[in-house]
Chain A
């Protein structure tokens, strides 16, 4: 008998800022929508543990999409994207996420993203607090400079391996070897988009003067960071959460920058706590 997973995949075509995107997403579960953004230069397999978590999917409709130019989501089908350097902007990123949620008719979704996905979660809390029940920025901070590097897309090096091995020690040594190598493997596949994603992450995303405008009572912000994350270390995330009205910070011990992919059993303990806090603050 075939060992089928309960997770299924589907495409939805949306238009964002004039770009036509055929977006691939994986989903499983029922109930409260929980829409998940993978990390820069990667794809939705990072959420493989969460998608098959029976306890969480009993009450949460988990949706993990591939951002355009990642995984099974193509670049735009109506634009000569190969004629210009890809640079993700905060406006386009936010507009994409809202357009996708609208197309999927998600009612009061919780948005969770990691790394650049965590940073855009902060942008959503600032710009679109009415569209989301809450946001869970994982491995995020209000400002994360220093990672928009030419090395990610250098024609004289094996970009696939530079991207994958360049993020290797964003992961904790305690995380299982198989899961770290799977994460490495995913990163070999996203080399063309990684640098452009990091334009948003390290250059365009800067909320140093705007954190005071995020209201965690209107849209709860529950931030989580692993102790081995050197890009947005725990004190950076804590500093961000402290400046957000009613912001929450959860420190995750002995885990790194890709917690949901490098060590899901550890990550889920903290995720369940974040979801509990959100239920408490939003009345279920």
Chain B
């Protein structure tokens, strides 16, 4: 049974805002991204390293800079404490599984260090699908 999305969002925000590796380079970690898990979508808005807002019910014209899209099954793999090979990161999954990285790739690259660490927080809080 999938987690309630609002409690997942609260857990994720708490983990991210208290992560020391993210905090060590938080200034200018400012961007907005969509995680499309097929059955659920969230838009996470970051500002100077803190989660400003998590939109748990995005509408068609809600803006974001870039997106990760994959099947719900893949997201469940991302959320395992120790993911299987090829589900252990966004590069691995986009090269070898069904993850698509879309939108303004430059903004993702500019924030890649912290975005990579944030993605791995899913191993602690799981996914809402």
State the majority secondary structure of interface residues on A.
loop
State the majority secondary structure of interface residues on B.
helix
Bound complex: CA of A163 vs CA of B59, how far in Å? 34
Rounded to whole Å, the gap between the CB of B87 and the closest CB of chain A is 10
Q: Does A6 contact B (CB under 8 A)?
A: no
Give the chain A neighbours of B90 by CB distance below 8 A. Answer: 169
Bound complex: CA of A166 vs CA of B116, how far in Å? 9
Residue of B whose beta carbon sits closest to that of A156: B106
Interface residues on A, range: 20 to 34
Report B75-125 residues with CB < 8 Å from chain A CB: 82-83, 85-86, 88-92, 95-96, 105-106, 109-110, 112-113, 116, 123
Give the chain A neighbours of B110 by CB distance below 8 A. Answer: 156-158
Mark B53-92 against chain A: 1 for CB-CB distance below 8 A, else 0: 0000000000000000000000000000011011011111
Rounded to whole Å, the gap between the CB of B106 and the closest CB of chain A is 6
Chain B binder among A100-108, A189-197, A225-233, A274-282: A225-233
Mark A157-172 against chain B: 1 for CB-CB distance below 8 A, else 0: 1100110111011101
Establish whether residues A173 and B82, one from each chain, have CB atoms under 8 Å apart when the complex forms.
yes
Residue of A whose beta carbon sits closest to that of B95: A230
Establish whether residues B91 and A228, one from each chain, have CB atoms under 8 Å apart when the complex forms.
no
Rounded to whole Å, the gap between the CB of B31 and the closest CB of chain A is 12
Residue of A whose beta carbon sits closest to that of B86: A230
Bound complex: CA of A161 vs CA of B21, how far in Å? 14
Query: Contacting B106 at CB < 8 Å: which of A146, A157, A161, A166?
Result: A157
Q: Does A174 contact B (CB under 8 A)?
A: yes
Give the chain A neighbours of B85 by CB distance below 8 A. Answer: 172, 227-228, 230, 233
Establish whether residues A154 and B109, one from each chain, have CB atoms under 8 Å apart when the complex forms.
yes
Report B19-55 residues with CB < 8 Å from chain A CB: none
Residue of B whose beta carbon sits closest to that of A184: B113
Establish whether residues A166 and B91, one from each chain, have CB atoms under 8 Å apart when the complex forms.
yes
Query: Contacting B112 at CB < 8 Å: which of A146, A165, A170?
Result: A165
B residues near A, CB below 8 A? 82-83, 85-86, 88-92, 95-96, 105-106, 109-110, 112-113, 116, 123
List 4 A-B pairs, minimum CB-CB distance, nearest first.
A169-B89, A230-B92, A165-B112, A157-B109
